[in-house]
C-alpha cells in the first residue's frame, strides 16, 4: 500500500464506520477513472467491509485494492463481466442469500453505465435484494464539466458507436439531427475512424477528452471538420481512452411558430410555464423562446 493512503483508510473508517451497511446487499461502487486519489472515503470503507468483491476483471481489481492496502484472497474476488454476467449473477444471489455483503466494481468509473453491471443489478433487484449505489468518478460527467458546453436542454449519453463503417455513418447521420449535446466514448484503435466519421458535422463543436484525470490528460475543443487533422498532427493524441462531447447544435432562428404559441400561452400562464410548453409544442430552443417571451412582456408593458 502507498503510505499516502494509510491516512485515507483511517479517515474512511471515521467518516463511514458509524453508517448502516446492511447485509444481503449489493453495493455498486464507483472507482477512479485514472487518478487513484479520486476514490471516495465511503468506497474505501465498503470495499474493506464487504464479504466479496465482484468485478469486471479480477486482476485489475486486485491491483486497485492492493494500492489502497485492501488486499483480498482470490476466493473473495468474483469475476462478473460482459461474457458471463447472467451466469455470474446467480453466484452473487447465492452470496446474498447467505447474508453476505457484495460489492461490484467495473475496471474504472461507475458500473452499469457503459461497463458491465446493469444485468447484475436487474437480477439482484428482481430477486428482492437491496442495491445500494456508491457514487463517484464518471468519465461522462468529468468530460461534460470541462467542455464549456452551454444550453439547458440536457445531454444524451450515446457511448460507443458501432465499429462497422456503414453502421457508424448511420449513427453519425442521426447525431446530426440531435440538437442536444451528445457524449461519446471511444477506444484508441478506433479513434481515427470515429474522427473521420464525425468530420461531416462541419462547424459543430466537439470537446475531446483524452486520458482524463491521468498524468497525460488532454482536453481540447475544436470544430468537427478539424478532428481528423487534429489527431493526425501528433501521434500521441491517438493514445489512451477517449470521451468526446458533441456540443449542442446552434439554435436556428425562430420560424414564427414559437412566437404564435407564446402569444397564445403568455396571457394565461406564468412566463416559465409558457416557455416550457412552447418549446415542447414547437421543438424550438427553450433559451430562444425565453428571450422572445421576455421581449413580448416588455413590449406589452410599454
- Return the sign of the alpha-carbon dihedral for residues 147, 183, 124, 119: negative
Let me know if residue 201 belongs to a domain.
yes
131 and 165 inside one domain: no
Do residues 44 and 26 share a domain? yes
| Cβ partners under 8 Å of residue 291, min gap 6 | none
Give me the number of domains the chain comprises: 3
With contact defined as beta carbons under 8 Å apart, do 93 and 59 qualify?
Answer: no
* Helix pair 286-301, 271-282: axis angle to 10 deg: 130
Q: What share of the chain is helix, strand, coil (3-state, %, to 5)?
A: 50, 20, 35
Is there a single domain that holds both residue 133 and residue 26?
yes
- Residue 282 has what DSSP assignment? H
N residues, the chain: 302
Judgement on whether residues 191 and 208 belong to the same structural domain of the protein: yes
Q: Are strands 205-210 and 77-79 parallel, antiparallel or unpaired?
A: unpaired
Domain assignment of residue 261, given as a range? 257-301
244 DSSP β-pair partners: 184, 208
Do residues 131 and 146 both lie within one domain? no
* Residues of the chain under the 50 pLDDT cut: 1, 253-254
For position 257, what pLDDT does the model report?
80
> What end-to-end distance do the CA atoms of the chain give, in Å?
70
- Over its C-alpha atoms, the chain yields an Rg (Å, rounded) of 24
Q: Which pLDDT score, from 0 to 100, does residue 4 have?
A: 74
C-alpha cell belonging to residue 301? 408593458
Shared domain for 188 and 283, answered yes or no, is no
Name the DSSP letter for residue 130.
E
- Write the CATH number for 24: 3.40.1010.10
Query: Is position 124 within any domain?
Result: yes
Q: Which residue has the cell 458546453?
A: 149
Query: What pLDDT is recorded for position 199?
Result: 92
Based on the fold, state whether residues 50 and 101 are members of the same structural domain. Answer: yes
What's 34-100 look like in SS3?
CCHHHCCHHHHHHHHHCCEEEECCHHHHHHHHHHCCCCCCHHHEEECCCCCHHHHHHHHHHHHHCCC
Beta-carbon neighbour count of residue 268 at 10 Å? 8
Rounded Cα gap, residues 166 and 33, in angstroms: 31
| Digit-coded pLDDT (tens) for 164-219 | 998 998 999 889 888 889 999 999 999 999 999 999 999 999 999 999 999 999 99
Judgement on whether residues 108 and 197 belong to the same structural domain of the protein: no
CATH of residue 179's domain is: 3.30.950.10
Sheet holding 205-210, edge to edge: 155-160, 181-186, 242-246, 205-210, 218-223
Tell me if residue 291 falls in helix, strand or coil.
helix
Which segments of 98-205 does DSSP mark as H helices, in order? 118-126, 139-147, 165-176, 191-198
Domain end, chosen from 137, 155, 183, is at 137
Single residue among 201, 226, 246 that ends a domain in this structure: 246
Choosing from 137, 162, 186, the residue where a domain stops is: 137
Instruction: State percent of the chain over pLDDT 70.
Output: 94
pLDDT tens-digit map of 10-36: 999 999 999 999 999 999 999 999 999
127 and 186 together in one domain: no
Amino acid at each position: 500500500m502507498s503510505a499516502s493512503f494509510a491516512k485515507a483508510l483511517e479517515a474512511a473508517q471515521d467518516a463511514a464506520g458509524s453508517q448502516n451497511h446492511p447485509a444481503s446487499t449489493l453495493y455498486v461502487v464507483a472507482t477512479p477513472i485514472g487518478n487513484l486519489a479520486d476514490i471516495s472515503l465511503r468506497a474505501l470503507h465498503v470495499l474493506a467491509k464487504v464479504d466479496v468483491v465482484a468485478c469486471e476483471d479480477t486482476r485489475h481489481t486486485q491491483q486497485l485494492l492492493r494500492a489502497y492496502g485492501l488486499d483480498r484472497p482470490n476466493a473473495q474476488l468474483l469475476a462478473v463481466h460482459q461474457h458471463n454476467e447472467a451466469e455470474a449473477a446467480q453466484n452473487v444471489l447465492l452470496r446474498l442469500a447467505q447474508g453476505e455483503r457484495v460489492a461490484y466494481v467495473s475496471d474504472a468509473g461507475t458500473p452499469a453505465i457503459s461497463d458491465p453491471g446493469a444485468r447484475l443489478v436487474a437480477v439482484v433487484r428482481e430477486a428482492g435484494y437491496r442495491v445500494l449505489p456508491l457514487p463517484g468518478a464518471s468519465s461522462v460527467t468529468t468530460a461534460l464539466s470541462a467542455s464549456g458546453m452551454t444550453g439547458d436542454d440536457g445531454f444524451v449519453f450515446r457511448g460507443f458507436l458501432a465499429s462497422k463503417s456503414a453502421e457508424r455513418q448511420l449513427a453519425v447521420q442521426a447525431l446530426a439531427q440531435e440538437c442536444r449535446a451528445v457524449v461519446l466514448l471511444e477506444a484508441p484503435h478506433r479513434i481515427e475512424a470515429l474522427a473521420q466519421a464525425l468530420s461531416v458535422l462541419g462547424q459543430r463543436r466537439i470537446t475531446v477528452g483524452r486520458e482524463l484525470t491521468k498524468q497525460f490528460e488532454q482536453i481540447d475543443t475544436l470544430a468537427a471538420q478539424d478532428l481528423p487533422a487534429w489527431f493526425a498532427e501528433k501521434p500521441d493524441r491517438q493514445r489512451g481512452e477517449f470521451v468526446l462531447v458533441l456540443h449542442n447544435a446552434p439554435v436556428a432562428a425562430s420560424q414564427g411558430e414559437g412566437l404564435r404559441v407564446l402569444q397564445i400561452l403568455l396571457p394565461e400562464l406564468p412566463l416559465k410555464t409558457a416557455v416550457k410548453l412552447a418549446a415542447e409544442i414547437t421543438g424550438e430552443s427553450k433559451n430562444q423562446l425565453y428571450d422572445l417571451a421576455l421581449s413580448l412582456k416588455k413590449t406589452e408593458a410599454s
